[in-house]
Structure 1
Amino acid sequence: MQKNRKPRFQAEFLNMNQSTPTVAKDEDRAYGLARLHTTLNTTGSDVNMSRSSSPASESTFVSAPSSPTIPPSNPAPEPPSVPAPRRSGQIAGDAPAIERVRLNAPLAMSAENILTPGNEHWVPRNASKALSHRGPEWKAAMQKEYDMMLKMGVWKLVERPKGAKTMKCRWVFANKTDAEGKVIGRKARIVAKGFTQIPGLHFTDTFASVVRYESVRMLVSTAVCSGMFLFQGDYVSAYLNSPIPVPILMEQVEGWEVTSLDGCVPSQPVSMPRPDGLVYELVTYIPPGGDMRNWSNVLLDLSLPPVPSSLDPALPSPANDLKPTAADEKSLVVVLDRALYGTVDGARNWSIVLSTEMKDLGYYESCADQSIRTRLRDGEHTITATYSDNVTGATTTREGYEVAMRELSRKFEVKDMGKLKFVIGMGIDRNWETGVARVHVQPFLERTLARFRMTDCAPKYTPLPPGIVLTASMSPSTELEKEQMAKIPYHEALGCIMYAQYVARPDLSFAVTLLSCFASNPGQQHWAAVLHVLAYIKATMHFALMYGGEGYKSIAPLGYTDANFAGDIDTHRSYAGYLFLQGGGLTAWGTKLLPRPSLSTSESEQIFR
């Protein structure tokens, strides 16, 4: 590309002759359809933008008011442009390849290399490292989690049955971060190793719905355009609110083992099926510190029930089989009464409990997304979106928000987090004066560039080099080449880019789809394209989705689709893309490779539709 040639969107959004940031205006929204349409057809497809009568009124993806990255007034010349991809009849060998990269290209740094126990972002990998850490925050988080288990009545103590197989558990740690990526707290979870559960014995169905990102973006768009109040909350230890259909034996939690039944309160026996068809009858005990209000079956006089008559009398009695041997006399395990994080059906059990309670409060589930629930009562419209233990909502008035949170608090323990600012990876900035909401993923992108050592790279201003040609023939063919490429974090980098485009970066959609085609055996040219995308992210870190504003009050959806012809060099299949707008902003988008070749662009579009 010549020095005086600039990509179209670069000239529209970035003032090349000024060294100060420029402010995006409403007319700058022209980037939306035209920019994404160009992105979806980077491989040189036929473009027809005549469907949009006024592209400037349909744009959605704009630069934020404060742009941290501005190109220099005299940018360095770009590499020579690559000719467009070959059409039918062109020889594959004539297709030029992008510049090769050295194998010592920037590599992803592992957590051990980046973070040390002295770093605030450091996360212990196991309980022993957390307990040995000199800071008290991780130990406090572990104690808080264990106390919550006792408070909710998640398990009871039992003497280890002879020959019984138990499920193990472990500690999992994470940092709580805000919308800017700053650490605001520590989190410790007791997670069961559910992969040892037996299908058909311990669980049956496992599906549990979570809200889609498209639904959250539509919720934000609807709320901003309608002037609704956006809020968020967190269900404290959500899974622990749901019982499990079949009790499960589990080892005690590391660091909090109980070795004696002294101080334990006897409880009712529990029947538990065995893999051989027999039934365990277990004598249970409430552990020390347990909240008696969560156990209604406490006994003062305990006696084992008789053996079920359905069992063969010739077989050993389960009651006798449970008598501990001398070696097992002090061995205690727990039996789960409630769903625990890590159990295969834990999410489903919580989803069922939440759905039942929300229906009791008068909410109706959406047919398109079961995690979206709405309620219209006394003129107050309330919408909630649930992702596991996170709840996001919108109400007509602030009083309606207070009522909704108060009702949820009567059903569950809910942490009120106030105005919606950050949810499932999306940062949300709302300006009540202008009526505009900005959805971005900037903190994640900053961490991604730091992870792959691309923070100081030269920025690029297109998602992929113009006219780029990537084929399977560029993949490694020898064992030496494959061994060298195995050291390149292709999948890690591509996964980060994929997550960013799925959350709030539609301009990366085609690049992700194209580069994913070579994930099974990436070559040097494919890795160079990934680095180009990261350099493009460096230049467009501040890009965000914008909803609402003057002239964008309608929530009527608007959709566009397009497809090219034989865009894939190897299979001659076509690429197709779609986007949907609401309230002046993109709410859904995607790019895909069609399942079969077509004979024309028109046929490609018909196949996609």
Structure 2
Amino acid sequence: MKKNDVWDFVELPNGVKPVGCKWVFKTKLDPNGNIERFKARLVAKGFTQKERIDYQETFSPVSRKDSLRIVMALVAHFDLELHQMDVKTAFLNGDLYEDVFMKQPEGFMPEGQEHLVCKLKKSIYGLKQASRQWYLKFDEVMKKHGFLKNQVDQCTYLKMSGSNFTILVLYVDDILLASNSLDMLHESKRLLSHNFDMKDLGEASYVIGIEIHRDRVSGLLGLSQKAYIDRVLTRYNMQHCSPSVAPVVKGDVFGSFQCPKTEAEKAQMRMIPYASVVGSLMYAQVCTRPDIAYIFGMLGRYQTNPGLDHWKAAKKVLRYLQGTKDFKLTYRRSDNLEVVGYSDSDFAKCKDDKKSTSGSIFMLADEPISWKSHKQQLTTTSTMMAEYVAVYNATCHGMLLRNLITGLKVVDSISRPLKLYCDNSAAVNFSNSNSSTGAGLYLDTKYLFVRERVEENNLCIEYISTKVMLADPMTKGLPPKIFEEHVSKMGLCKDLMA
């Protein structure tokens, strides 16, 4: 606190109520779940702050997981240097513009000054605006020293010097640096260390709960969450469970008819940590596990009133993760450095409202960078309409990814039309046609966005057989053998293999 000049001791002005504070103690674990160190952090009781008095805006951008995977794909493809740094007490770098008064921390009151309060000068942890003020400070420093902010992901920066470049990704207080020049990488490290109190962690191996495995000789890089999955399994007493071959299989059914009907059934479910388990599955799904995207979405639909069948399905996913916790999302060099998307949909399979489920997965250099499985908002009346709505959803996200990668300025092929595969020929023909007849007449105007992108030559939609549709597991349960084949094609494997 003294080093960062966080506060001044002052008399409390009349009519002002100071914000409280408390100590928070935490055990920091290493990637293997072992105790690394014990931490004590002083935090302000931000819940007592008053809007437009103690704070104004609170929004702070957060880096997308897509950005992490895009950078990993580029690191593997170009054999880039990949290092990591940690900002010590990051939030204490943010300047505070409002007058905020805080009670003195317990155990550290200077003798004779017990009656004074702390007038905060920095955005101490716990304040509602703390994250925003830290980001604004970091952004100011980066732009001042020649880093360009990505317009899609505002926590991703690029600096170029001739043919050399450095990509920087900020995750609150964790920083990833990828560069094709070791000298430029070290220059960026010196810049960061000069402006902030940094810890240099060397070559990246573990960031935001994700383990990074790299074999530079073979040109391979893998992302896994084995330690995280082990902790989740232990938390719910599933660490010794028998593995399942798949998280969901063909024939598995979900619906509100499985929800509790009586008070006794509801009372029983209140004793079961269903919502907590689904929340734990979410982080694995979002980061490295596209293979559980569909079942995660299905389980999430019944969060408010889950039944025993839903709970059994959630435990089945945990058993699947038990058998596949060593799986790595793998990246390697490819001759095909372009973004390719796969879009799929079922038709009216939701037992509750007959809506369809869209699924998509995007690849860069033939490896996964983004995926999604979600229920469509529109009730469609044909398979073609359901598939076309899925194409629309995939197109919107694909354009976002395209713009994100364009901002990195290191992938020339991104200037070509985005290629999107669909396994429904009618939807493909409708996307590439200007006619306004048939089922397409009943679609909302916004879905014509797809045709506009095709006409502008920014999008190319092509037909592909269902047998090789990578997004198929995002929309339905499959027979175990077919599911395993799709998982392998998604880039998930137990060992890094060329």
Which runs of 5 or more structure 1 residues have no equivalent in the other structure? 1-148, 262-329
The counterpart of 1:444, out of the listed 213, 218, 228, is 228
* 8 Å Cα contact 1:546-1:584 kept in structure 2: no
Q: Does 1:532 align with 2:316?
A: yes
> How far apart in 2 are the matches of 1:465 and 1:474?
18
Q: Which residue of 1 aligns with 2:37?
A: 185
Q: TM-score, normalised by structure 1?
A: 0.63
Q: How far does residue 430 in structure 1 lie from its aligned partner after superposition?
A: 0.7
The counterpart of 1:596, out of the listed 355, 378, 389, is 378
The counterpart of 2:90, out of the listed 227, 232, 238, is 238
More helix by share: 2
User: Helix, strand or coil: the match of 2:121?
Assistant: strand
Q: How far does residue 162 in structure 1 lie from its aligned partner after superposition?
A: 4.7
The counterpart of 2:72, out of the listed 213, 217, 220, is 220
Q: Which residue of 1 aligns with 2:16?
A: 164
Structure 2 counterpart of 1:589, one-letter code: W
> How far apart in 2 are the matches of 1:378 and 1:182?
44
Q: How far does residue 259 in structure 1 lie from its aligned partner after superposition?
A: 4.1
| CA displacement 1:172-227 (0-9 Å, x = unmatched) | 22232333232222222111111211111122111111211110111111011011
> How far apart in 2 are the matches of 1:582 and 1:187?
39
Q: How many aligned positions are there?
A: 391
* 8 Å Cα contact 1:259-1:331 kept in structure 2: no
User: Helix, strand or coil: the match of 1:338?
Assistant: coil
Q: Which residue of 2 aligns with 1:561?
A: 343
Q: Does 1:196 align with 2:73?
A: no
The counterpart of 2:207, out of the listed 418, 423, 428, is 423
Structure with higher RCO (Cα < 8 A, 6+ apart): 1
> How far apart in 1 are the matches of 2:87 and 2:313?
42
Q: How far does residue 590 in structure 1 lie from its aligned partner after superposition?
A: 0.8
> How far apart in 2 are the matches of 1:154 and 1:440?
38
Q: TM-score, normalised by structure 2?
A: 0.76
* 8 Å Cα contact 1:230-1:394 kept in structure 2: yes
* 8 Å Cα contact 1:248-1:335 kept in structure 2: yes
User: Helix, strand or coil: the match of 1:243?
Assistant: coil
* 8 Å Cα contact 1:448-1:496 kept in structure 2: yes
Cα RMSD for the two superposed structures: 1.4
Structure 2 counterpart of 1:339, one-letter code: S
User: Helix, strand or coil: the match of 2:9?
Assistant: strand
Q: Which residue of 1 aligns with 2:171?
A: 387
| CA displacement 1:145-181 (0-9 Å, x = unmatched) | xxxx111110111234455311011122223233323
> How far apart in 2 are the matches of 1:395 and 1:361?
16
> How far apart in 2 are the matches of 1:384 and 1:553?
25
> How far apart in 2 are the matches of 1:154 and 1:234?
20
User: Helix, strand or coil: the match of 1:246?
Assistant: coil
> How far apart in 2 are the matches of 1:173 and 1:588?
36
Q: Which residue of 2 aligns with 1:582?
A: 364
| CA displacement 1:388-418 (0-9 Å, x = unmatched) | 1111110112222111101111111211110
Structure 1 counterpart of 2:325, one-letter code: M
Q: Does 1:251 align with 2:35?
A: no
Q: Does 1:338 align with 2:122?
A: yes
Q: Does 1:362 align with 2:146?
A: yes
The counterpart of 2:242, out of the listed 444, 448, 458, is 458
| CA displacement 1:116-159 (0-9 Å, x = unmatched) | xxxxxxxxxxxxxxxxxxxxxxxxxxxxxxxxx11111011123
| CA displacement 1:95-114 (0-9 Å, x = unmatched) | xxxxxxxxxxxxxxxxxxxx
Task: Map 1:57-136 onto structure 2 (within 5 A).
Answer: none
User: Helix, strand or coil: the match of 2:132?
Assistant: helix
> How far apart in 2 are the matches of 1:334 and 1:423?
34
Structure 1 counterpart of 2:94, one-letter code: S
Q: Which residue of 2 aligns with 1:522?
A: 306
The counterpart of 1:482, out of the listed 266, 283, 298, is 266
> How far apart in 2 are the matches of 1:169 and 1:151?
19
Q: Which residue of 2 aligns with 1:101?
A: none
> How far apart in 2 are the matches of 1:479 and 1:395?
59
